[in-house]
Structure 1
Amino acid sequence: MTPRIFQIKQVQVLPIPLVEAWTFFCDPRNLGAITPDWLCFDIRSEVPPCMYPGLIIEYRIKALAGWPMAWVTEITHVAAPNYFVDEQRFGPYRFWHHQHHFRDVGEGVEMTDIVHYAMPYGVLGLAVHKLVVAKRLEQIFAFRRRKLVELFG
């Protein structure tokens, strides 16, 4: 059975130059600063100050019911300073593909996140998505939006 693919798309403009946005987002160590505390986000692997294609990043999060969970992503594409893609290799989703796009729009940088994801466990996973996961992802991206405004105006 082909899994149901969900999509999240978020666009945000920050009043900073493209190079400043890229410098912040290309550093995996900054991800914790824009992730809600309740996820208990913790990078477990050593990471460089700027990502590159093939970089494997190991995290630990507390996703459902506060249970600790490993999440491993690979940075699969990087075209500085315009976009990068991370893909889950191991973790809570059956499929996770996250595109991060950056574009100079004169008054700042337009950032677009496009996430395609699928739940594991068939019908059970779809039920958990409807009851919990969709709302949690909305909360995570809303937090990120607010935090970026705090950090960059």
Structure 2
Amino acid sequence: MTETPTSLTPAQLGAYFAFTEVSSLVRHAVEKQLRSAGDLSYVQFQLLARLGDAPDGRLRMTDLADGVVYSRSGLTYQAQLLEQRGLVTRTPSPDDERSTVVALADAGRAVLAAVFPGHIATVHQLLFAALSDRDVDELARILGQAADRLRATPPRSAGPRQRKTP
């Protein structure tokens, strides 16, 4: 059995503070760019981008919530706002009447096309411009390991929904 540490080493503390600072600074700049280019919140962009990556541009609401690590009720509200703007549609799932399917509308694809160039430029300039390709590979490896560990015991919003059996 592994004992839970009661403190962090100076290196761990420094890495943690650097990670949180970089995360906050990048997210702030990305949110500003998304608002300016597409009148989107960060969560709305994540929702549209995940739909854009889906093979048919459609996902169940619970899968979207699990993927973006956002509460299901909060994501429902964000999807409602996007639907009001005509960027997505929401319909009952043909497979499960309790489930809602969200689909990317043509207007949503247009907004993604408008925000992506600035989004990519912002992320590149703030996060990757100062790093070598080797640094980026190492960063991806390290953060991938951390993400895998966190996804092994995710918070409710990041894990698969537990189905109640009748």
Q: TM-score, normalised to structure 2's length?
A: 0.28
Between structure 1 and structure 2, the one with the greater Rg is 2
Q: TM-score, normalised to structure 1's length?
A: 0.30
More helix by proportion, 1 or 2? 2
More strand by proportion, 1 or 2? 1
